[in-house]
A and B are shown apart, each in its own frame.
Chain A
Amino acid sequence: MILGVLIALGEMWSPGSYTNVQFTWLHLAPAPGPFPNGLSLVMGTLVDPLSSLMLVVVTVVGFLVMLYSIGYMHHDHGLPRYYAELSLFLASMTGLVLANNLLEFFLFWELVGVCSYFLIGFYYEKPSAASAAKEAFLVTRVGDVLFLAGIFILFSTYSLAGPVGSGGWAANGFVFVQGSTAVPFLATAMGGHTTLLTVAGLLILGGAAGKSAQFPLHVWLPDAMEGPTTVSALIHAATMVAAGVYLLAITSVFIGFTPADQLAIVAIGGFTTFFAATMAVVHPDIKRVIAYSTISQLGYMVLAIGAGFAMVGLYHLFTHAFFKALLFLAAGSVIHAVGTQDLFKMGGLKKHMRVTAAAFAIGGLALAGIPPFAGFWSKDDVLSAVYSQLGSHPLYWPFFLLAFAAVFLTAYYIFRAWFLAFSGETTRDPTLPAAHEGPWVMQVPLVILSGFAVVAGLFVFLPGFQSLLLGGAGVAGIPPTYGTTDLLLSSVSVGLGLGGVGLAWSMWGNGRVYALAETSPVQAVRRLLLNRYYFKVGYDWIGLKGVYTISRAADFFDRFVIDGTIRGLQRMFAFASNRARALQSGFVSDYAAYVVAGLLGLFVLLLIVGPYLLGRLGGG
């Protein structure tokens, strides 16, 4: 952690990128084909504003979560496995952040995926956990495959790109090259190929969507909450899920998106923000509510990058990492205390768990974007960033508005959760154990993170941090400016946020429970949301039932048709043999008859068949 922060600080003082030594992982000598100058795949590290920013997040949150785990996990078995996998994850995540080419990036990308697979399935005795782990791996796998295809397109299309005489990108190991100006390197390098570049961009977006649980690959993240809360906080809120956003960021910085790609990204991001928020509105499970909000917040980051402001996206990522981890850890200590995740069983916890309640509230305010908490600054930047680009394409409008609407929902659902859990006199389910605060190792991280959640947004005003954001090559960072439009935007969004909080208070405050009439038509909507728009059902149906049925049919075909023909051939020989044996009648006269028949046959051969064939073949 210390090292990470140091690197980041160093980066703050002097923006720029440092690439230190790399080793060749696989080298193919020049040979005719698509890689005339040869091909080498390397492992190296690249430290630049983006990576250093991520590095801070990964190391800090990682450290705090480790600390928190000591308390949270102490009564679980298999702790060595837990810490080993967690450390492996942190290592891979660091590698991913420092990767200096897409292949290496993909390598660590897969590794973090596997770690998340292991950690989600940490309670593997629980069938639901095992299934959730599998689901997470598979869905992200779909994204990975698209990402891989994107890599192929880029690698072979631009194999010769790069400074003249350098042998080209392929020969140099496809390392990221800093665009000299605000223009990404590859987009200009080869001039044309815009179609291919678009396709590649879309494929990479697919990869990012898989990892960052963007629509339509979002289904796995809520289920991933089967894992320990600490894991959810670290991997499924702060770091790994953010890797998708990070991928989009570096792609837009080093490779560049075409306008079509940007529109697609904006669409995905904008829609996801709203889409996920709606599902969070009704859910009774505290962790899943936070999970949905994660999806929605990731949507904001994607939105910003789509609008062309990678650093803004990362800025939101930075702040979000802290307050979302905070929320998860707070929820974790709640669960630790009462042993359930069902909001409707809790209630009145704030009396027993002041620290947690305060931490959750701070996180909530940050998430809702209430100034001066961290969330406000970054989310405000995102919105204004998109707003500044509205002119570039009319279709930006709807998604911009969706994002705005999401602000309101966000504020509502997170405080709904807070009121349900903490407000009121006592727990609704009397069977719950008496709540109590966790040990200090659990409280310290809460406090620290609360601090971050408050101030992280203000870092923008530190010159070093600002330069870090501005130093992001190829894009203009947006420091908070107080121009009229932004003031307008900010006030609107804050207004929406307060509105959401207010609504939540009016419905759930002081332990009230707002029960929806069974008969009301809204029930249909509620059911739709609770079933997550039936996405998971649909995927299961296609993925498991559909494919499995096909494969069973294929298996049948394989056993009985393909293999059957072979066995049929065998039986045919057996049959023929059996029949022919009857000729061996044992009567010598028959044998003599065969001889005479053979003689006649010979004459036919010699006098008729032979001449005929020779006539056809024209001599032997």
Chain B
Amino acid sequence: MTLSSFGAPFLPEIVLLAAVLLIFLLDVLKVRRIELTGGIAVAATLFALGLIVADLGFAPLAFLSSIPSSQIDQLPAVGAAPLYAFTSLGLVFQAIFLLAAFFVCLASTSRPSDERGSPIFYGLLLLATIGMLLVAIASDLIFLLLAIEVTSIASYLLVAYTRKDVRGLEAAMKFFVIGALSTVLSFFGASLLFGAYGTTNLYLIREAGAAVGYPILVLLGYGFLIAGLAFKVTLVPFHAWAVDVYDGAPDDVSAFLAGGTKKIGVFAFFLVFLGPVLVVGTVGQSGYGLFGGSVALGPSFQIALGAIAVLTMTVGNVLALLQKEMKRMLAYSSISQAGYMLIGIAIGSAPALGGATLQVFAHVLMKTGAFLVVGAVAALGVGPLIEDWRGLGLRRPLLGTSFALMLLSLAGVPLTIGFVSKFVLFSAAVQAQGWFIWLAVAGLLNSALSVFYYARVLKVMFFDAPPVPSSPATTGVMGAAGPPVLPVGGLGYGRAATIAVIAAIIVAFGIYPQPVLGAIQAAAYHFVTVGA
């Protein structure tokens, strides 16, 4: 018998919530050993992940499946206005989110075991994860935005959870201000749409389609909404906060923000512009041109998104070129990566959607991994500048190799997942033909541009001579005297395992992507065609 007979489609969220409560309870009881709290978090995310994967139809775990397949990828009854709906693509995204959360939880168990803030860290992290999971099943604009806010508020606090670190607090402050501003924008846009359609339910909005009283309200509303969501996805020019935040936040938190939370914005874009709530293409037979005449709204959304995508990729890369700090360089590169995902949204075909989703998956692996490596290296006592990494690749071959793998994957070098995702994405762009091929060209040229700074890091890590051991940057590193050296050459089991696993996945799916790619494409296909 399967769990679904209990009719518990929200089991993953419930599990995480339970874990949160348990952790805080233990905190109250002054039980703060990181092995324990972290263990709980790891177990919870892992179990939730298992549930989701089961729901996705992964046979070996079928006994775990909690959502009856009859509820997946179904349109609601006519006139019904559900707050949530299960789509297979949503489940894929939930899996991806949980994966990110799981990696971060696992890796962060390697922090000093007596750290006081650990319960808060794990609690907030799981809370944010719950919000992300809710985003993935939303089907109502307000529900969606509130779910996003759950994540946002949790992550504001997460950035500042140490409460002692000025940089962290400054980052949190900036994060909060810009975040609140974008929230306002999103809600204002939602209110305009509510005015235009008389409802916030995405299904009903799609049914209403072009039959609206005030198309200008639709345009403005979506304009505000794009601006609001763009904050999450860190699209230029709504990106400025991200660099400072990723830089200022604790490494593990940066990993979670860059690898995890920003992806909910991507799925929000999917919901608002594609899929069951397909606005692109349905609105617009009779649109409203500013200079009179009728204009298809959908295509002009596509043009706008395409423009933002190109802008985002270019600015992100150009700014990353000369960065001296490793974390800021990674932050900029993650901004440019967001541009690639937006390409998929701008195109809006099933292949493109699948490509973007694969890009999200790849990015979760690469960025989470990269930031975790940064954290690990920092824990070894190496400074924040790229220069400080001189010769690291030769002194720590395995660590260096896995980081090199992540960078190469970010640069889109073959035999890595990063190459596959870009390849599929750009194939989709070319396949869509029309002017989208220029998106592919722009994206590819950008990835060429990005090679500059990734290659620079590789050069520093592998070609340059290591700094003289006496310099402060390296005292206590590399097994010399210094802070208590953790197992696995100062990395700790959790981090070492996570990094190794991520590197392995990057290569494995880079060589044979069919399993994940097939599932994602199928889900994307359902997502755009269901009910249409």
Contacts and interface: CB of A to CB of B under 8 A. Distances in A.
Task: Let me know if chains A and B touch directly in the complex, using CB atoms closer than 8 Å.
Answer: yes
Interface of A: 573-574, 576-578, 580-581, 583-584, 586, 588, 590-592, 594-595, 597-599, 601-603, 605-611, 613-615, 617, 619-620
A606 B321 contact: no
A581 to B, nearest CB: 6
9 contacts: A573-B321, A594-B237, A599-B227, A602-B227, A605-B307, A606-B300, A610-B295, A610-B304, A617-B435
Interface stretch (B44-52, B61-69, B177-185): B177-185
A619 B296 contact: yes
B240 A605 contact: no
A606 B181 contact: no
A614 B296 contact: yes
Given A586-B244, A594-B237, A611 B295 contact: yes
Contacts of A613: 300, 303
Contacts of A607: 219, 290
Contacts of A605: 300, 303-304, 307
Interface string B222-265: 11101100110000111011011000000000000000000000
Contacts of B219: 606-607
Interface in B103-156: none
A594 B303 CA distance: 21
B231 to A, nearest CB: 7
B434 interface: yes
A614 B241 contact: no
Contacts of A588: 173-174, 177-178, 241
Contacts of A578: 322
Contacts of B174: 588, 591
A620 B223 contact: no
A584 B289 CA distance: 36
Contact of B237 (A598, A606, A620): A598
B220 interface: yes
B211 interface: no
B299 A620 contact: yes
Given A577-B322, A595-B182, 7 more contacts: A574-B321, A577-B320, A581-B322, A602-B223, A602-B304, A620-B296, A620-B298
A414 to B, nearest CB: 72
B322 A598 contact: no
Interface in B273-316: 289-291, 293, 295-296, 298-304, 307-308, 315
B99 to A, nearest CB: 30
Contact of A614 (B240, B295, B315, B320): B295
Contacts of B452: 573
Contacts of A608: 290
A620 B434 contact: yes
Interface in B44-95: none
A246 B318 CA distance: 70
Contacts of B244: 584, 586
Contacts of B182: 595
Given A577-B319, A599-B227, A610-B299, A584 B243 contact: yes
A607 B289 CA distance: 7
Provide the main secondary structure of the chain A interface. helix
Contacts of B241: 588, 591
Of the candidates A577, A594, A613, A615, the one having the most CB atoms from chain B within 10 angstroms of its own CB is A577
Contacts of B222: 606
A-B complex: 4 closest residue pairs judged by Cβ atoms: A610-B300, A620-B299, A591-B240, A577-B321
B431 to A, nearest CB: 15
B48 to A, nearest CB: 34
A580 B295 contact: no
Nearest to B298: A620
Nearest to A570: B452
Contacts of A602: 223, 226-227, 304, 308
B322 A594 contact: no
A584 B322 contact: no
Contacts of A614: 295-296, 299-300, 303
Contacts of A609: 303-304, 307
A135 B363 CA distance: 65
B386 interface: no
Interface residues of B, number: 48
B208 to A, nearest CB: 19
B327 to A, nearest CB: 13
A619 to B, nearest CB: 6
B201 to A, nearest CB: 23
A599 B223 contact: yes
B223 A606 contact: yes
B452 to A, nearest CB: 8
A599 B185 contact: yes
A573 B451 CA distance: 13
A609 B178 CA distance: 27
A598 B230 contact: yes
A592 B300 CA distance: 26
A614 B219 CA distance: 16
Contact of B449 (A573, A597, A606, A611): A573
A592 to B, nearest CB: 6
Of the candidates B222, B238, B452, the one having the most CB atoms from chain A within 10 angstroms of its own CB is B238
B300 A599 contact: no
A595 B227 contact: yes
Contact of B223 (A580, A603, A619): A603
Given A580-B315, A584-B240, A591-B240, A598 B227 contact: yes
Contacts of A580: 315, 318-319
Contacts of B434: 620
A186 B438 CA distance: 60
A588 to B, nearest CB: 5
A601 B298 CA distance: 18
Contacts of B300: 605-606, 610-611, 613-614
Interface string B307-346: 1100000010011111000000000000000000000000
Contacts of B295: 610-611, 614-615
Nearest to B177: A588
Given A602-B227, A614-B299, A592 B178 contact: yes
Nearest to A591: B240
B238 A595 contact: yes
A588 B172 CA distance: 11
Of the candidates A583, A594, A597, A598, the one having the most CB atoms from chain B within 10 angstroms of its own CB is A598
Contacts of B173: 588
A164 B513 CA distance: 63
Interface in B420-454: 434-435, 449, 452
Contacts of A592: 177-178, 181
A130 to B, nearest CB: 42
A588 B302 CA distance: 30
A607 B223 CA distance: 10
Of the candidates B240, B291, B322, the one having the most CB atoms from chain A within 10 angstroms of its own CB is B240
Contacts of A594: 237-238, 240
Of the candidates A598, A607, A620, the one having the most CB atoms from chain B within 10 angstroms of its own CB is A620
Contacts of B299: 610, 614, 619-620
A211 B88 CA distance: 83
Contacts of B231: 595
A578 B319 CA distance: 8
